[in-house]
Amino acid sequence: MIEKIIPWIKGKRVLLLGFGREGQSTYHVIKQAGGYASLDIADLASPAQRPDEEARWITGPGYQSCMDDYDVVFKSPGIVLEKPIEEYRCQILSQTEVFFQCFRDQIIGITGTKGKSTVTSLLYHILKNAGMDTMILGNIGIPALDHMEEVRPDTKIVFELSCHQLEYMTVSPHIGILVNIHEEHLDHYGTMEKYVAAKQNIFKNQKTDDILICNVQCLPESGTCPSMLIKAGVNEPGTDLSVAEEPDGTWIRFRGRAYRIPVDEIRLLGQHNYFDIGVVYGVCAILGMDDGAFTAGLKTYEPLPHRLQYLGERDGVRYYDDSISTICDTTIQALKTLKDTDTVLIGGMDRGIDYRELIEYLSECQVSHIILMEATGKRIYQEIYKFYPEFKDRPRLILAEHLEDGVRRAMQITRPGHSCVLSPAAASYGIFKNFEERGEVFARLVFHS
């Protein structure tokens, strides 16, 4: 299978732009394939150890200025190009682009601001559990080109896609899933319109016999989606794929099928997760899976860490890690799900997102203690006192400098028999390496202090 990438590199001067996990993966695959004229690497930082003395390294602030000296540039997802892509003479590719060019007919691609990792991992687990030949790749942390050799003609490829991977894509998956779009990554894109445009590449290059399952909250504009559109929603009338809370349970309805989610027998909590289950059910139904096989997989699925993850109990208080939460909506969903929350910890790096929706929800909710940390915590606190005189029960607001102070205060004030949840509604960058480290530090502070 690795020979499939040779047409892109044969006789070409090749540059890798970025040498993180994906850049290193691309390097090893291209080296193995061979046939290129040269293979060089450009990155802002100079690596501690260079894997190849033959390769030319371009590092430092001007590392992107050499791009047009090459025929082909493989760009890593997180790198922001300094010019519009059409201004470069070189061909700019990515791992994802090349992999999709090879296997797009077998790919189920999933994107969204929140929930995409849950949908990706749940779909993979249920397909695998049902005995299907399947693999999981992409933004979930598994570089695609590393696994080209494992793809067989019947393999179903479940592929998580970030906005950065989609930004310059010219090919879309056979089945696309757009879970939702919320305000996010504006520090990278500058405008919401550019961020939305990146996400919409999940469907813009689909064909007429392809499928898009899309949340009704972010439907494509008329005429922009060439594939079959399946509208999905929670308690939304007129949807093709409906998730509805009814007196006798939560039901998924799709193409004449009705399926009641066994909420008391699964580990995924909350309405947002029931929507994710609904979307996965839709894909499984399209692939011909029966309800028994779907239920068997759903019941054995273990949720990903840091996504409203129950950590345990200490001194009668139940602690939950929702460190994945970097926007208002996910914190609101966490508090709607954990109805016994006595204390919530909010705050992190400030990327300038609008916190009005969260402030208005916090004013009305029954949470007794709202601990506000870091730059966004301070900003929320100041905005409430300046612009929201009607905010209910302001003494609930507690300022804390960092997570350590916030946890110490939470452990003092949270009432036994209730829950305490870390759901920051903000990024972790500049404070922690990533949201995973933030969640791990929270658990350590709670149980090992």
Taking only the tens place, the pLDDT of each residue in 298-351 is 999 998 888 889 999 999 999 999 999 998 988 998 999 899 999 999 999 998
β-pair partners for 126: none
Q: Which two tokens stand for residue 212?
A: 């898009």
- Whether 427 and 348 have beta carbons less than 8 Å apart is answered as yes
User: What's the rounded mean pLDDT across residues 81-109?
Assistant: 96
- Whether 41 and 54 have beta carbons less than 8 Å apart is answered as no
Do the annotations mark residue 406 as ligand-binding? Answer: no
Do the annotations mark residue 419 as ligand-binding? Answer: no
Do the annotations mark residue 118 as ligand-binding? Answer: yes
- DSSP per-residue letters across 362-378: HHHS--SEEEEEHHHHH
Sketch the domain layout of the chain as residue ranges.
Answer: 2-93, 97-300, 309-447
Do the annotations mark residue 300 as ligand-binding? Answer: no
Closest C-alpha among 144, 109, 132, 136 to residue 4: 144
User: What's the rounded mean pLDDT across residues 71-88?
Assistant: 94
β-pair partners for 312: 319
Q: Could you say which of 3.40.109.10, 3.90.190.20, 3.40.190.10, 3.30.2290.10 is the CATH number of the domain covering 309-447? A: 3.90.190.20
Q: Which amino acid is at 135?
A: M
Task: Check residue 2 and give its pLDDT.
Answer: 81
> Hey, how many other C-beta atoms are within 10 angstroms of the C-beta on 174?
20
> For the chain, what percent of residues have pLDDT higher than 90?
83
**Residue 183 pLDDT exceeds 80:** no
Tokens 């301070």 belong to residue: 378
Residue 277 sits at φ, ψ, to 5 deg, of: -60, -40
**Burial state string for 93-122 with b = 16 or more CB within 10 A and e = fewer than 16:** bbbbbbbbebbbebbbbbbbbbbbbbbbbb
CA distances 419 to 37, 163, 415, Å, are 60, 34, 8
**Residue 185 pLDDT exceeds 60:** no
Tokens 């949270």 belong to residue: 414
- Whether 369 and 342 have beta carbons less than 8 Å apart is answered as yes
Of residues 105 and 183, more confidently modeled: 105
User: What's the rounded mean pLDDT across residues 57-82?
Assistant: 94
Do the annotations mark residue 414 as ligand-binding? Answer: no
Tell me: the pLDDT tens digits for 33-47? Answer: 999 999 999 999 887
Task: Check residue 432 and give its pLDDT.
Answer: 95
Length of the chain in terms of residues written: 449
Mean pLDDT for the chain overall:
94
Tell me the chain's radius of gyration from C-alpha atoms.
23
**Burial state string for 334-367 with b = 16 or more CB within 10 A and e = fewer than 16:** bbebbeebbbbbbbbbbbebebebbbebbbebeb
Task: Check residue 188 and give its pLDDT.
Answer: 61
DSSP conformational letter for 12: -
Closest C-alpha among 69, 12, 6 to residue 42: 69
> Hey, how many other C-beta atoms are within 10 angstroms of the C-beta on 4?
16
DSSP conformational letter for 422: E
- Residue 77 and residue 23: Cα distance in Å, rounded? 9
Tell me: the pLDDT tens digits for 395-420? Answer: 999 999 999 999 999 999 999 999 99
- Residue 114 and residue 233: Cα distance in Å, rounded? 15
Do the annotations mark residue 115 as ligand-binding? Answer: yes
CA distances 425 to 78, 303, 352, 372, Å, are 21, 20, 12, 11
Domain 2-93 has CATH 3.40.50.720: yes
Task: Check residue 47 and give its pLDDT.
Answer: 75
Task: Check residue 184 and give its pLDDT.
Answer: 64
Task: Check residue 78 and give its pLDDT.
Answer: 80
pLDDT band of residue 55 (cuts 50, 70, 90) is confident
Tell me: the pLDDT tens digits for 231-268? Answer: 999 999 889 999 999 999 999 999 999 999 999 999 99
Tell me: the pLDDT tens digits for 188-233? Answer: 666 788 889 999 999 999 999 999 999 999 999 999 999 999 999 9
Tell me: the pLDDT tens digits for 355-392? Answer: 999 999 999 999 999 999 999 999 999 999 999 999 99
Q: Could you say which of 3.40.1190.10, 2.40.30.10, 3.50.50.60, 3.40.640.10 is the CATH number of the domain covering 97-300? A: 3.40.1190.10
Do the annotations mark residue 112 as ligand-binding? Answer: yes
Which pairing describes strands 249-254 and 241-246: parallel, antiparallel, or unpaired? antiparallel
**Residue 187 pLDDT exceeds 70:** no
Task: Check residue 323 and give its pLDDT.
Answer: 96
**Residue 64 pLDDT exceeds 90:** yes
